Structure formats: C-alpha cells, structure tokens
Structure 1
Amino acid sequence: MDAAQLSKFRKLIVSKNLDYYLILTQDEHNSEYVSDADKRREYVTGFTGSAGTAIVGRNYCELATDGRYWLQAADQLGSDWVLRKEGHPGIIPWNKAISIRAKEEGAIVGVDPKLISHETASQMLANGTQLKAVEPNLVDKIWTSKPAEPSSPIFSLPLDKTGASSKSKIADLRFYISSKNRDAIVISALDQIAWLLNLRGSDIEYNPVFKSYCIVTLSEVRLYLNLGREVPELSSKIKVCDYDLLFKDVKDLSKAGMKIEVSSKSSWAIVLAAGENAVISDSEFIANAKAIKNKVEIEGARKAQLYCGVSIVKTLSWLNKELKADKEVTEYEVSEKLQSFRLSLPDFRGPSFETISSSGANAAIIHYTPSPNTCSYVNKNAVFLMDSGCQFLYGTTDTTRTCWFSDKECPSNIKRAYTLVLKGHLALANAQFPPRTSGYQLDALARQFLWHEGLDYVHSTGHGVGSYLNVHEGPVGIGPDAKRWGAELKVGCLISNEPGYYKPKEFGIRIESLIVVQPKNGNKTKNTDFLTFETITLVPFDRNLIDVHLLTNDEINSINSYHAHVKEKLEPLLSDEDLEYLLYHVSPL
C-alpha cells in the first residue's frame, strides 16, 4: 500500500468514527499461514513475514512482530511505519500497548471480529479498551486487486495413513463433550477439522487444509464449506452446509438453549454469536489428541524423514560440487534444485513451508527466503543455512542444517558458535525426563552452552509438527515462555529441536531435527517410566563446522552413533558423489 492508499485508508477509518484499526495476520480460523485472499496485513504494510499485527491510526502506523522478523520488517516497512519488536526486553506486547494508548487518548479501536481471537479481544476489553467490532472488513473495501477466495478440491486421507478413522475420532470428541455437560462444540481451526474428519485440501500454500467450520453435537456433524468446491463422498452422518451460515446456526443453537463449547482461540465473532450459552474453553481437546501421534503416524513420520533426508543430502552434495568447481550458484537456485530432487519422491505433495536458503549475512535473518531476482550468490567462504520441509501423504518434515563448503578452515568464532549450538541440540535430543514435564522446563537444556558465553537466540527451541498437516502445530513445543510452552510432553508427541545463534549482518546458525517423545524403558523412579526423545531426522551434521575440542566424550559418541544410523538408512538410496558426500560427513569423529 503506497502513501496515497494509506491516506485513503485513514480517511475510511475516520469515516467509521474510529481512531485506530487493527489488521491481524490470521484469517477467520486463527491460522498462522493464510491464503493470498487473507493477506490483508501484508497488503497494507508490505511486510511479508508470517507473524505480525498492524495498527493504523489517524496519525500513527505500527507493525508489531517477533524476533524472527525484526531484520526483515525493518527492511520491508516504509517510512510511515514504526516497528514494535515483540519479545525485546522492555517492549510490552502490542495489545497492551494499544490499550494504554487508547485509554490515554479516549480512542476507539476498530477490528474485524472474525479476525481477532476471543482471547485477545477479551484481554483488550479487560484492559479498558474501547474495542469496536467493525464489519465488513475495512481493508477489503480498498483492496481492489484482492485475490479470489480459495476453493481447492477436498480429498479423503485413507486409514493406512491416519491410523484412526474419523468415526472413532468423532466418538472420542462426543465423549468429551458429554463428560463436560455440553451440547455442542464449534471447531474453527482448519488443521483440527482436517484431522477430525481425515480430510485434506490445499487452500493455504504449504498447508494441506481447506477453509471450513465444523459443529459437532451429540447427534450430528455439520461441515461448513464453500458449496461450489469438489468434495469427496462423506458419511451420511456429516451434513455439508454453506460456509456463510455458520454464525446463523451458532446463534440458533444458542437460542435453543444448547451449551456450546468455543475455544478461546476462536474468533471473537463466534463467541458473540454463541452469546450467553458460549462456554469458553482452553482445554483444546482436539489439539491435544492430534498432538499425540499413533503408531501409523509415527511410522509415516519416519518414512517421510527418510525421503526428506535423501533430498537434502543430494542437494548439499550438488552444491558442494558446484562451489568446489567455482561455479556461481544463487540461493534461489539451491531451493529450486532441492525441489527438483523432491518431485520424484513417493507421495510427495509439496513443501511444508517456503525454503530458507541463505548464505553468509542472510543466514542471520531467521526467516529469510530467497527470491529469484534479489537473492545473493552462495559464498563458499561463508556459512550456508538451509531450512526446508516436505509434505507427504504419510507425514510432514522440517529440517535445518548449517554448512561450510570451503577448503579453507572455517573461522574459529563461527566454528565455536556452531559447536555450542550443536551441544545444545544434543543435550535436548538425549534428555531424560519424568512424565508431566513440559517443553518450558526443557528449554534451558538447548540454550545452556550459549548462555555460558553470554549468547542466546530469540526464537523458541521447538514446535509441534503435524501428520501431513501444518508444519507448526500446538499445543506442545519447547521454549522460554511458561504459558505458551507449558503443555505436557507425552509419548507420541512430534516436535522440532532447533537451537540457533545469529550474528546480524555476519552469519546465522541453526540445527533442526524432529524428535518423538518415547518411553525410556528401564529407567524408573517410584515405578514411573521416564521419557526421552527419538531423533527421526536423517541428515548428518557438518563435520567442517564441529570443534571437537569443545565436545565431551559422551557428545562425540552421540554424534557418531547418530551418524552411523544416518549412514545405515541413507547409504542404500544414494550413489556416486552423493554417497561420497554422505560418507565424509558421517565418518566417526
């Protein structure tokens, strides 16, 4: 949005008797990633990151985003915008900041109630904010080139991929509803609906979901969709309804006296529709059930990691060969080569997010993604960081490796930083912990060696990963925020292990593998089995970046054991130079 459009938008805000207007990243379903038709915040600000909130006032514009995007936002925002660095010491969250500002000024803050969670709206109202629900969305009024709403075909995922039928999942959900003395539940999270009904789509790039709502009562299931789309044959007990009828039906159920459970993360609009019969819940029954992968899903995750590992090793081997031949290769060309290797993999359905392929200083931009026209050439005398993921019918992957391709010795400060990150990665991967432990409690294991030298990273250490679903899923994960990462880690939870270190304008390091919570057989206290992690990612660490002198014997043995496992799994699937690259990096330290 240029200055003239911004001025026009401000006049529209004033015409609605508002002082500020909130533009959030998420769609009606509180999705982290959204379709092109829902990228309102990106349209208004020019900032393309996946997290952030824009606040447009009569004389003030602010974008709030977290540490992953500070450098990117500073580069993309125009001069009209102020950047709020969420999570930075001394910086309060945007919703508290605008509440304070609005109270001081007696200002009215407008927002589309379908695009703000009930949780956030409630916090702002409790802080005394004059928050006004405004429909239709004001951005849509001036977005003349707005893309069409997505309407991809929906398809069923078979039992040999899901490990549990939709019938059994619905039965479990109904037991939960009944046990809580409720009559219905409204489900708005797209990955929860896809998981519950064993359906998938492609409405949002990289995420195999479809825009929908779902209401489950003790006697029926209603699925709300754009009725013009292709839908597989569904059970006769699932009623397909028009997407736009959701709010009317919620109001009707409420008028009939039905107690309706609504997640606190659902939109403010849904809670308003449910009225006095809304039961706001933080229990997230479906999210918790989805986070615990069954045996079929775990086997699928292992299979996905095998093929993902092959594609990454082939790509790094190719890049190593090109750079040693002094050929010029762009960051974007690396991401394209990776994709070309993946296209022939069994049941490959596309990337799980946009590939991060970054060289040197670009690697310090945590969520940097190369574009064909503006990216850099890969510098073989600088670190190279590649973070990528796959979607297979049987699993979702997310892997990061940092590499050094030069024949010259890596500078000692970079090598030391990499090894400190690796030590934290190993400490978490090899952790043993009792039941009822949360990711918040384990986070320091990954940071301890960096902390010892006064270093840290601004992102979380791990996130939940879906099963042919969203690459980021809750509620489990690992990080320093007790509230966000306080969910209990249970057997079957699939999460990432990704500590890092970033020196702005110089280099960035991240090492990411996926880990599954498993019982630690034979290790008991008070007759209770301890838990541990199984690392399922199959990509070697870069031996050129490891300072062996900083490692203990146990850490060296752990690396060698992991590399022996990687070699066993990948060697039969590689040939010639790719195998040579693998064998070099997995040779014992």
Structure 2
Amino acid sequence: MLMQTHEARLHALREELKRRDLTGFVIPISDEHMSEYVGEYAKRLAWLTGFGGSAGIALVTLDRAVMFVDGRYTLQVRDQVDGKFWDYESIPDTSPADWLRKNATADARIGFDPWLHSRGWAKGMAAALEKKGGELVAVDTNPVDSVWEDQPAPSCAPARPHDEAYTGRSSADKRGAIAEWLKENEYDAAVITALDSIAWLFNIRGSDVSRTPVALSFAIVRSDGTADLFIAPDKVTPELIAHLGNAVSVRDRDAFEDELAAMGGTTVAVDPDRSVAAIFRALDDAGATVKEERDPVVLPKAIKTDAEQAGHRAAQARDGAAIAKFLHFVETEGPKGELTELAASDRLEAFRAESDKLTDLSFDTISGAGPNGAVVHYRVSEETNRTLEPNSVYLVDSGGQYYDGTTDITRTVWVGPDAPGAEVKDRFTRVLKGHIALAMAIFPKGTVGSQLDTLARQFLWQAGIDYAHGTGHGVGAYLGVHEGPQNVGKSRGTKEQALLPGMILSNEPGYYKAGEYGIRIENLVLVHNVEIAGAELESMGFETLTFAPIDRRLTDVAMLTAAELEWLNAYHAKVLEVVGPQLEGERLEWLKAQCAPLSA
C-alpha cells in the first residue's frame, strides 16, 4: 500500500534511519548533476515534505524535522509543509550546519548522499558535527529511495542531436578548445557533470528534465580531444552515434563511477561548485591528482555565437507575438472579473504553442494576481488560484524553450476599468526608470554585474524601497533559463565574472508590496561592443532582445526624463516593427495603440 500522507512518509524515513543506525539524514533539492531543475525521480524533498519551491533543504532526525529555505519561500514553506511535524529555519541566518552546531548530540550520526551534495558542503557539515562529537556518514544508497515506493524511474527519452545551424560551432571544435585548455594547464582530463554543459559541448538536447532541454549523462573530456559520454543505452539512437562521431565513446551511464576509479595516475580538472562529493571521493580513492577548476564549458557557453544570437532574436520575435496576443486577451477578459491565474497561464502557453518550434516552457509560469504577485517566486496551484479582480495589478513572468532560443519575460499590467492609483503608478514608474537605466548603460571592459546593479535600484532607493532578488541572470541558448557565470546583482565577492560581448542576461528590477501587489519589468539583453568617438577604453552596452509592450496605464510620464521617454518611445516603435507583422485585425490595432508615442 502506498504511503499517501507526508506524515507517513516522514515516519517511514525515520524507521529506515534506525535500521541503518543513523540518527538523521539531509535531503536537498538536487540531483547527481547539481541541477537547478531536476527530473521527477530526483524530487525527493518534494515527495517527503510537499515543498514545491526551487531552493531548500531538509534535515530529519529521529525526533526533529527542519526545513531550511531563504526569504523567497518564507510564506510558501508554511503553506506547503505541515508545521505540526516540521520546524522552519531561514537561510542564510541558520544553515543545517549552524543548526547541528547548536542541536547535535555527541552520538549523532547524520547521513548524507554524496551524489547529491558538493564536497565543500560535506566538509562544512562534517566539521560542525565533529565539534559536537558527532559524525557525518556518506550513505551508499539513499534512504528516501528505500521508502519511496512509487518513485519514478529516470527518463529514458532519447538524446537528440542539435543542429549546428543553431549552435554555430561543431562539437569537435568545442572539444578541441577544451583539449587545448587541458594541455595548457598540463591536465589529462576534465570531468563534466552539469547537464547544460554536456548538452552544449556535444551539441545534443533532451527531455529528461522539465523546462530544461537536457539529457541525463556524464562526460569526461581528454587532452587529445576525445571524450567519453556516459548515458543510458535506452537514450542512444543511431542518429546520436552518427552525430557524435568516432572521437566520442558512448558508454553506459552506470559505467561512470568505474571509469573514475580507473583514472589513477592522471591529473583531472573537476568543478567544486558543479560536481558532487562522490566524484571527488572516487578520484581520490583511485589515486588521481584532482585540480579544482571551474567547468571549462561554462564561459564559452555563456558567450553566444553569431548563430545563437540570431536564433535568440528569432525566438524573441516569435515569443513577443505570443505575449502581445496574451496581453490583449488579459486587457479584454480581465476586467470582467472571471479570469483566473491558472486560466490566464494556460492561455499564455496556448499562444506560445502556436509555434512549431516550441518544445516546452522555460520555467513554470508565474501568474500572480493582486497579492500573489508580491510573492517573488509564486507558483499558482488549485489551492492558491485567484481571480484577476477589476482595478488590480497582475504580474506574469514566463518563458518558452524554442529550438533556436530560450525566452524569459515579465510584464506587469493594470486590470481596469478604472485608472490605477498614484502609489502603484509611482512604484511602477520607478521600476521602469531602473529598467531603462540598465538598458541604456555604457560600461568599460572588465565591468562586473554588481557595478551595474545600482543603476536599476537607484530610483527605488530614493523612495526608501528595494527588491530582494538579483537584477539579472544569464540565459542559455535553448538551454537553461538561468545560466552562469554572468549576473547583475549585489556583490558576490571575488569570483564575479566580468561581462563579455555575446553574453545574454535578464534586466528585471521589481517592487513588491506584501499582501497587495507585485511589479517586475523584465527583458533579455545582449552584451555587445559600443564604439565611442574619442574613447580611451573598450566599451560595451546592451542590445534589448525582448519585444512586448510595457503598460502605459501604469506609467507616470511626468516622472520620466526626456532621455527615458525617448528610450520608451523608441522601444515601443521597435516592438511594433518586430511584432506587428505577426498580428492582424483587432490584435494589431490594439498593439498599435499600446505602442503609440507617449508625450510629457
């Protein structure tokens, strides 16, 4: 009989821990690849607790159960995880290691799955337990899997070759560049475990993870340009074999650990932030020399080729038409007081699905009416589904996965029929001014995202308000909607990556009034070189890639400078140029009205 309640699942896990002589176990949101989004088989935390957020970690002991989440999920965790059985802690104020320093006993034996955590995390946890006389224990098999009776199997969907017309570079060329890097550093091989890195390196895509077109696999790239791709046999097709060529050895995914054990005497580069502790342990046990290096795919993947840039522009134009149809729909149906968040989200997906190049959404749509829009990472469900009320704010953050590009756009609109109030217009316009300031930025070579972040926040700060998320994240080329190493946000220390031409980022300042409404305006932008007469420095700026109207009803034109108004009018003219030819009839007339020039 399947265990239907989360209380029963928690009890079963504790019984399994007792059987294994463990006093506790740590359950992260993660898989063997340290992925942000994971396959159904790896959603252990959601199965155990009911938590549906994208960041969190649980610690279960024989008499306590604790959920650790950051500030984005303070409300959500209380809605989804039963407080009768679970305590809540806030990260970064209290981490699992902090909690154990305070609460662990001398006989503590806390288990962890070394295929789900980084080596750095494991060292920190072990040190915290040692101070209390306890022990961190690496388990051979995950105890959650032992009690998850109907756990799905990993996807067996085939891996697909991704056409070079979209990528702009052959896999052989990419592997050759990695081989040169290995030789320059006197390394024999690099272990690549991030799924988007593998997809980019071999020019393959898959459907093993919802919202991200990747195939479950591991890879080892060697200094002679050859590589091993470890992937389940069911996923391998003759087309894939032909695509990969003779220099790539296709091997069973289950052989990966054995290959690590055979790498004794070699020098191997491994990314400590993207590779799990089990990989380091296997290489150390084999006698390999392990060098901690950032995944050599990460930076070249972030710098889009001309073909990838062209694909993004095509995908954005297509996506812009779907967004325009949707915004027209919301303006028509919203004021009737019958349209729900779920119905709106479904209609937006249907508009995107009119394209034969759409393969998936790029993330679960954030469809937030009124107070739900103030929850930054809100996910609508049957339980939380609200109706878009007349005379309220509606926020929709969404994106699509197209063969030629990945999109991510947020629009905040006023649901009429009455005019919005002064406060919401003020907040919206301050967000818009910050968005424009970042979009117009010119900056010298070597600039990092934290140096630009203030541009987007300055007008909010002037009113004594702010937002608690980053201003911009990297975006992949028909890959992850969140991609490093580039970002725009508050300082992240010495590892921050300088922005480089070809990188794509989001530009998404916001404002959130708890219990009332949320505002965010998001476009994607491309870093490109800028020629300045008489300049003494190499300079760069942003090309805006996303085209959809920005709500004119919420814009207080009197708050805009002449330069900001010029930008907004030029942007809307471009929206009409790009999107207009894809619309007709009433929708086209609506778009023309939305894109008409504003005047002071």
- Indicate whether the TM-score tops 0.5: yes
Provide the secondary structure at the position in 2 that maps to 1:209: coil
Note if 1:418 corresponds to 2:434: no
Once residues 517 and 470 of structure 1 are traced to their aligned partners in structure 2, the CA distance between those partners, rounded to angstroms, is 18
Q: Which runs of 5+ in 2 are unaligned?
A: none
One of 319, 324, 328 as aligned partner of 1:317 = 328
5 Å matches for 1:302-313?
A: 302-313=313-324
Aligned to 1:333: 343
1:29 is matched by which residue type in structure 2? H
Q: How many residues align?
A: 581
Provide the secondary structure at the position in 2 that maps to 1:186: strand
Note if 1:118 corresponds to 2:124: no
Contact 1:23 1:111 in 2 (8 A): yes
Question: Which digits, 9 at most, give the CA deviation of each residue in 1:266-318, with x for residues without a partner?
Answer: 00000000105242424332111100001111111111110111001101101
Structure 1 residues 524 and 392 mapped into 2: Cα distance closer, same or farther (>3 Å)?
A: farther
Instruction: Kindly state the Cα deviation for residue 400 of structure 1 after the two structures are TM-superposed.
Output: 0.3
Instruction: Kindly state the Cα deviation for residue 586 of structure 1 after the two structures are TM-superposed.
Output: 1.5
Question: Which digits, 9 at most, give the CA deviation of each residue in 1:224-279, with x for residues without a partner?
Answer: 1111224323312111111111111111112xx01111110200000000105242
Report which stretch shifted further, 315-324 or 296-305: 315-324
Once residues 57 and 452 of structure 1 are traced to their aligned partners in structure 2, the CA distance between those partners, rounded to angstroms, is 47
Instruction: Kindly state the Cα deviation for residue 86 of structure 1 after the two structures are TM-superposed.
Output: 2.2
One of 21, 27, 37 as aligned partner of 1:23 = 27
Instruction: Kindly state the Cα deviation for residue 384 of structure 1 after the two structures are TM-superposed.
Output: 0.6
Aligned to 1:179: 184
Identity, in percent, stands at: 39
Instruction: Kindly state the Cα deviation for residue 139 of structure 1 after the two structures are TM-superposed.
Output: 0.5
Contact 1:110 1:133 in 2 (8 A): yes
2:271 is matched by which residue type in structure 1? S
Aligned to 1:550: 559
Once residues 283 and 36 of structure 1 are traced to their aligned partners in structure 2, the CA distance between those partners, rounded to angstroms, is 28
Contact 1:476 1:485 in 2 (8 A): no
1:582 is matched by which residue type in structure 2? L
5 Å matches for 1:281-292?
A: 281-292=292-303
Once residues 338 and 129 of structure 2 are traced to their aligned partners in structure 1, the CA distance between those partners, rounded to angstroms, is 58
Once residues 118 and 272 of structure 1 are traced to their aligned partners in structure 2, the CA distance between those partners, rounded to angstroms, is 9
Aligned to 2:143: 138
Contact 1:523 1:530 in 2 (8 A): no
Structure 1 residues 205 and 108 mapped into 2: Cα distance closer, same or farther (>3 Å)?
A: same
Aligned to 1:268: 277
Once residues 202 and 530 of structure 1 are traced to their aligned partners in structure 2, the CA distance between those partners, rounded to angstroms, is 39
Once residues 96 and 517 of structure 1 are traced to their aligned partners in structure 2, the CA distance between those partners, rounded to angstroms, is 39
Instruction: Kindly state the Cα deviation for residue 421 of structure 1 after the two structures are TM-superposed.
Output: 1.0
Q: Which runs of 5+ in 1 are unaligned?
A: none
Once residues 428 and 499 of structure 1 are traced to their aligned partners in structure 2, the CA distance between those partners, rounded to angstroms, is 9
Aligned to 1:3: 7
Structure 1 residues 295 and 404 mapped into 2: Cα distance closer, same or farther (>3 Å)?
A: same
Name the TM-score, length of structure 1 as normaliser: 0.95
Report which stretch shifted further, 552-561 or 27-36: 552-561
Contact 1:262 1:278 in 2 (8 A): no
2:348 is matched by which residue type in structure 1? L
Provide the secondary structure at the position in 2 that maps to 1:453: coil
Provide the secondary structure at the position in 1 that maps to 2:460: helix
Name the TM-score, length of structure 2 as normaliser: 0.93
Contact 1:410 1:544 in 2 (8 A): yes
Aligned to 2:229: 223
Question: Which digits, 9 at most, give the CA deviation of each residue in 1:331-362, with x for residues without a partner?
Answer: 11111111211222141212111111111011
2:59 is matched by which residue type in structure 1? I
Provide the secondary structure at the position in 1 that maps to 2:18: helix
Root-mean-square deviation (Å): 1.8
One of 527, 545, 554 as aligned partner of 1:517 = 527
1:227 is matched by which residue type in structure 2? P
Once residues 399 and 65 of structure 1 are traced to their aligned partners in structure 2, the CA distance between those partners, rounded to angstroms, is 25
Aligned to 2:579: 570
Aligned to 2:402: 392
Report which stretch shifted further, 271-280 or 258-267: 271-280
Aligned to 1:293: 304
Provide the secondary structure at the position in 2 that maps to 1:544: coil
Contact 1:95 1:120 in 2 (8 A): no
Once residues 521 and 330 of structure 1 are traced to their aligned partners in structure 2, the CA distance between those partners, rounded to angstroms, is 48
Contact 1:102 1:108 in 2 (8 A): no
Structure 1 residues 524 and 554 mapped into 2: Cα distance closer, same or farther (>3 Å)?
A: same
Runs of at least 4 residues off by over 4 Å: 102-106, 126-129
Structure 1 residues 278 and 352 mapped into 2: Cα distance closer, same or farther (>3 Å)?
A: farther
Question: Which digits, 9 at most, give the CA deviation of each residue in 1:529-576, with x for residues without a partner?
Answer: 111111110011100111122221111111111111111111111112
Instruction: Kindly state the Cα deviation for residue 365 of structure 1 after the two structures are TM-superposed.
Output: 1.4
5 Å matches for 1:346-357?
A: 346-357=356-367
2:67 is matched by which residue type in structure 1? L
